[in-house]
């Protein structure tokens, strides 16, 4: 094991001062680290970055397994640098300390005030460099993942992992979505995964037992979002389908809505633009990482099927006011490239979504998606979304959804 312990390294950087301020960051790979909880120093979250600067662009690329997040909103002020994640509100504000960065990560933006300690060092490509023992096992495969085992809060999830050498990638799925792109390693009997995307800050750790199980697992997503877990190999492990968690109420009155778009114009399901069309209605939030994956998927679907009679509209649950929500909705649309309308449906929360989606009962997660045929009949509703980080689960969803859309478009 390398002698590169996080608390020691962080203390060294913090005490080094700003005397060796460099105007230009070293280009190439960086290791960023976020201390989510200042009282728990052995669950710091590492992530890989690449910094690039030339006459045309200054950018930071955040790497999570198969995902690359391009940060181009970068500002400088004196010896400080400010980097804003795309789509979401999260930001990094840091100072130069020798050849390193030290500062804060703001998960909801600087204005929200909540922040975690952050630092980054250059020329480090290993995601968990403080562990470098040979792995004792290969965790590739499907795992029955039990969160908070033996407690009333116990939940059954599914882990999907791939391992090459010591590097591990994959995700963890729950009934309403997935934890997107996770990356880490196996070192000796230690198992580690982390991910950061501007909405999620996630770290999982565990020990591999002599029987090959993952035990003594710990998870942290924020100071208030923590759990324990364990996992056992189970190629048959599964989670309930999203279309089995929500259903149309018996004798429910017809579904409709009327909400303002980002320009303040009211759009209703009864408008002529939706008449005799196949309509997909999404209940989303611009703060929701699974909604991001769904929006990117339906962006392409809309482009492909729009001229064939498909319409899509997103009901967006945001801040308490329309005025406060519009900038976030515009930003989400612009940075995802979605061309269908986003409507302000009210503040985020369980009560709001149940009020708007009044014909349905069951679990209503963000996103929830409704498929309506040309005659205005609801043909399918499902809650949650697992994106491309979910591998085969996502591929199956893509095939099934395309099949349903083609079927509905062919109907008269």
pLDDT in tens, 229-255: 999 999 999 989 888 999 999 989 999
- Provide the domain limits for residue 65: 6-122
pLDDT above 90 (res 31): yes
Mean pLDDT for 141-169 is 96
115 and 19 in a single domain? The answer is: yes
Residue 129 lies in a domain: no
The pLDDT assigned to 148 comes to: 96
pLDDT above 90 (res 2): no
Given a contact cutoff of 8 angstroms between Cβ atoms, the answer to whether 238 and 377 are in contact is no
Tell me how many domains the chain contains: 3
Domain boundary among 89, 122, 155: 122
pLDDT above 60 (res 21): no
Residue 128 lies in a domain: no
Instruction: Point out the least confidently predicted range of 6-15, 241-250, 352-361, 362-371.
Output: 6-15
The pLDDT assigned to 205 comes to: 98
Could you give the CA distance from residue 149 to residue 153 in angstroms, rounded to a whole number?
8
178 and 104 in a single domain? The answer is: no
Q: What is the CATH number of the domain that holds 15?
A: 2.40.128
Q: What angle do CA 37, 72, 76 make, to 5 degrees?
A: 75
Question: Could you report how far apart the first and last alpha carbons of the chain are, in Å?
Answer: 66
372 and 288 in a single domain? The answer is: yes
363 falls in which pLDDT band (50, 70, 90)?
A: very high
183 and 45 in a single domain? The answer is: no
Q: What is the CATH number of the domain that holds 253?
A: 3.40.30.10
Could you give the CA distance from residue 161 to residue 171 in angstroms, rounded to a whole number?
7
311 and 272 in a single domain? The answer is: yes
363 and 260 in a single domain? The answer is: yes
The pLDDT assigned to 68 comes to: 96
The pLDDT assigned to 99 comes to: 83
308 and 404 in a single domain? The answer is: yes
Residue 136 lies in a domain: no
The pLDDT assigned to 23 comes to: 57
203 and 304 in a single domain? The answer is: no
24 and 83 in a single domain? The answer is: yes
406 and 263 in a single domain? The answer is: yes
pLDDT in tens, 369-385: 999 999 999 999 999 99
Residue 270 lies in a domain: yes
Residue 130 lies in a domain: no
Could you give the CA distance from residue 8 to residue 33 in angstroms, rounded to a whole number?
13
Domain boundary among 122, 156, 191: 122
pLDDT above 50 (res 177): yes
The pLDDT assigned to 254 comes to: 94
Domain boundary among 233, 265, 281: 233
116 and 202 in a single domain? The answer is: no
215 and 268 in a single domain? The answer is: no
Mean pLDDT for 141-148 is 97
């Amino acid at each position: 094991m390398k002698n590169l312990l996080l608390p020691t390294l962080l203390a060294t950087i913090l005490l080094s001062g700003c005397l060796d301020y460099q105007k230009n960051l070293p280009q190439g790979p960086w290791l960023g680290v976020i201390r989510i909880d200042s009282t728990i120093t052995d669950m710091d979250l590492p992530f890989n970055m690449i910094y690039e600067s030339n006459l045309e662009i200054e950018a930071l690329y955040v790497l999570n397994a198969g995902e690359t997040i391009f940060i181009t909103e970068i500002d400088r002020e004196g010896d400080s640098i400010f980097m804003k994640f795309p789509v979401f509100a999260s930001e990094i504000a840091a100072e130069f300390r020798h050849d390193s960065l030290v500062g804060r990560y703001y998960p909801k933006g600087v204005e929200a005030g909540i922040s975690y300690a952050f630092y980054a060092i250059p020329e480090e490509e290993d995601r968990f460099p403080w562990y470098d023992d040979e792995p004792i096992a290969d965790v590739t495969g499907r795992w029955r993942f039990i969160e908070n085992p033996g407690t009333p809060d116990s939940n059954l999830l599914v882990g999907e992992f791939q391992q090459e050498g010591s590097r591990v990638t994959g995700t963890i799925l729950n009934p309403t979505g997935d934890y997107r792109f996770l990356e880490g390693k196996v070192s000796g009997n230690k198992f580690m995964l982390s991910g950061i995307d501007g909405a999620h800050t996630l770290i999982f750790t565990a020990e591999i037992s002599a029987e090959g199980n993952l035990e003594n697992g710990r998870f942290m997503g924020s100071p208030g979002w923590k759990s324990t877990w364990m996992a056992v190999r189970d190629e048959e492990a599964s989670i309930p389908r999203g279309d089995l968690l929500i259903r149309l109420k018996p004798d429910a009155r017809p579904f409709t809505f009327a909400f303002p778009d980002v320009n303040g114009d009211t759009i209703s399901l009864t408008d002529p633009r939706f008449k005799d069309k196949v309509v997909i209605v999404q209940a989303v939030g611009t703060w929701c990482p699974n909604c991001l994956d769904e929006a990117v998927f339906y962006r392409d679907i809309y482009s492909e099927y729009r001229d064939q009679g498909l319409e899509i509209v997103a009901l967006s649950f945001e801040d308490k006011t329309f005025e406060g929500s519009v900038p976030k909705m515009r930003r989400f649309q612009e940075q995802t490239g979605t061309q269908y309308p986003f409507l302000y449906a009210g503040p985020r929360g369980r009560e709001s979504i149940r009020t708007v989606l009044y014909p349905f009962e069951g679990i209503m997660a963000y996103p929830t998606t409704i498929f309506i045929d040309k005659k205005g009949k609801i043909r399918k509703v499902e809650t949650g979304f697992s994106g491309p980080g979910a591998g085969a689960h996502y591929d199956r969803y893509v095939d099934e959804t395309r099949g349903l859309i083609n079927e509905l478009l062919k109907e008269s």
